[in-house]
């Protein structure tokens, strides 16, 4: 698909449409939607901003490429004066006192926020069912889950309610729902986009990234959001990625992890489709290598050990004193306990309890430090792989999206649906879902800070598969 951003920009400039009419049309679609993808509409703000864009055009002023482009925001980002609920009971009445850096950059570029989008509460989940706003329904088949945790963001893009949406990816939360809903989703190199104003889940792997229907739209949005931010010490400087730089692939060699494909857990059709895609890539003259990697169950256990530990630490501040829906009890300790017990979901409580166990005296050396050592080994494994290949390709998920309700009955199965995404998160690598190759897409990964190559190869796949 061609860039929707460029198409709409041209329509606005040529006065074929007005920005107010465009925004109102998308707001109406969001109001009528039956996919549970909306937590709150930002209609007043959106229409005021749209009127300003129309006034500039009427006055003959030049508008930027993103000016007037409607977008959605996962409900874990601060936007000053709006509710930021994280789809949770605890924060259902919380209003943001400031705006996240990534979102502010988009606002400064003139993009128009339409909606706070439904997601798994605090990003805890892989199906977007763990939410007080109702399970998000898959855009392709509403009986299936949308994927998590950025399910609402993926569905809004897939259904054309938003031109692009900003999700958050910790262990696959952009890539998995992008795959389940047949769109593009990018987890950039860790630190390329500031995390300031993103509600923290697991700080060492949390990433800000876009979902869209075209690679070009992903590129445009990423260029605006990227860059060093004094408010986030883990953020890094990065170069702008040009359209010309990703137009033609320079990739000579790709690799795939044979233990992913030979696993008993992979769906037979996903495996067959992946191997067929590999053959088409070989036919284009690209060398394909099989690579060794950690078993997927080790990746999942390492990721969840560290993610739960960071969750327990990050969410310890949410006790009803400074943040959240406070429930009074007989004394302060009981107030903390009741507030957290009554307001956190079962999945969030499961992760907090698991994280506190990992960090508790007597367990931290045996479990947490071992997890950190494994993360270092995983990063070293990737470093060696990228001495041999330019790109690593894999299915996004071992299987297809489950029916709504099934993931809630079996949390372990839900964790294992992340088996192919969490390793790249631990490596802090740039990884993109491309909606080709298998029923849930293909995952393209390059070495750290090589986001440009990921987009370049995604363009190659678009023309090849």
Rounded alpha-carbon distances, angstroms, from residue 78 to 100, 249, 335, 351: 5, 37, 27, 23
CA distance from start to end of the chain: 14
Q: Could you tell me if 444 and 429 are in contact, meaning their C-beta atoms sit under 8 angstroms apart?
A: no
Q: Could you tell me if 89 and 132 are in contact, meaning their C-beta atoms sit under 8 angstroms apart?
A: yes
Among 37, 96, 126, 149, which one carries the catalytic annotation? 149
Distance CA(286)–CA(277), nearest Å, equals 12
Does 74 participate in catalysis according to the annotation? yes
Among 3, 37, 56, 74, which one carries the catalytic annotation? 74
Residues 6+ apart with CB under 8 A from 206: 168, 169, 170, 195, 198, 200
Helix 215-225 crosses helix 101-108 at what angle (to 10 degrees)? 110
Among 37, 88, 165, 173, which one carries the catalytic annotation? 173
Question: Whose CA is closest to 430, among 146, 150, 169?
Answer: 169
Does 345 participate in catalysis according to the annotation? no
Q: Could you tell me if 326 and 335 are in contact, meaning their C-beta atoms sit under 8 angstroms apart?
A: yes
Distance CA(179)–CA(224), nearest Å, equals 24
Q: Could you tell me if 195 and 170 are in contact, meaning their C-beta atoms sit under 8 angstroms apart?
A: no
Token pair belonging to 379: 């990063």
Does 203 participate in catalysis according to the annotation? no
By annotation, the residues acting in catalysis are 74, 149, 173
């Amino acid at each position: 698909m061609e860039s929707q951003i460029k198409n709409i920009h041209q329509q606005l400039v040529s006065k074929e449409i007005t920005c107010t009419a465009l925004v109102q049309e998308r707001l109406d679609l969001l109001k009528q939607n039956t996919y549970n993808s909306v937590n709150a509409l930002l209609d007043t703000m959106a229409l005021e901003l749209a009127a300003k864009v129309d006034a500039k055009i009427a006055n003959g002023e030049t508008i930027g490429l993103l000016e007037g482009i409607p977008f959605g925001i996962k409900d874990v980002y601060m936007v000053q004066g709006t509710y930021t609920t994280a789809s949770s009971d605890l924060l259902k009445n919380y209003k943001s006192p400031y705006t996240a850096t990534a979102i502010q950059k988009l606002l400064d570029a003139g993009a128009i926020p339409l909606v706070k989008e439904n997601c798994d509460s605090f990003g805890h989940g892989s199906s977007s069912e763990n939410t007080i706003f109702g399970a998000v329904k898959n855009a392709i088949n509403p009986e299936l889950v949308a994927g998590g945790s950025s399910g609402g963001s993926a569905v809004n893009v897939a259904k054309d309610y938003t031109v692009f949406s900003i999700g958050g990816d910790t262990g696959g939360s952009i890539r998995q729902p992008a795959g389940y809903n047949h769109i593009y989703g990018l987890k950039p190199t860790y630190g390329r986009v500031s995390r300031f104003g993103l509600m923290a889940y697991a700080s060492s792997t949390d990433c800000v990234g876009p979902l869209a229907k075209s690679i070009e739209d992903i590129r445009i949005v990423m260029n605006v959001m990227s860059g060093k931010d004094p408010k986030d010490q883990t953020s890094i400087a990065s170069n702008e990625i040009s359209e010309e730089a990703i137009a033609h692939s320079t990739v000579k060699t790709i690799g795939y992890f044979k233990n992913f494909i030979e696993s008993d857990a992979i769906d037979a059709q996903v495996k067959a489709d992946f191997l067929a895609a590999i053959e088409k890539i070989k036919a284009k003259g690209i060398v394909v290598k099989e690579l060794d990697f950690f078993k997927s169950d080790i990746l999942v256990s390492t990721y969840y050990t560290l993610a739960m530990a960071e969750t327990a630490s990050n969410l310890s501040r949410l006790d009803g004193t400074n943040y959240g829906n406070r429930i009074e009890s007989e004394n302060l300790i009981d107030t903390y306990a009741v507030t957290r017990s009554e307001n956190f979901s079962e999945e969030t409580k499961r992760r907090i309890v698991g994280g506190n166990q990992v960090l508790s005296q007597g367990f931290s050396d045996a479990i947490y430090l071992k997890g950190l050592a494994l993360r270092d080994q995983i990063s070293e494994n990737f470093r060696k792989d990228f001495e041999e290949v330019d790109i690593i390709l894999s299915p996004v998920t071992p299987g297809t999206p489950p029916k709504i309700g099934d993931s809630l009955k079996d949390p372990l199965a839900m964790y294992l649906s992340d088996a192919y995404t969490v390793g790249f998160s631990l490596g802090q690598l740039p990884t993109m879902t491309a909606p080709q190759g298998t029923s849930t897409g293909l995952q393209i990964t390059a070495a750290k800070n090589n986001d440009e190559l990921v987009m370049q190869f995604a363009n190659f796949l678009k023309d090849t598969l």
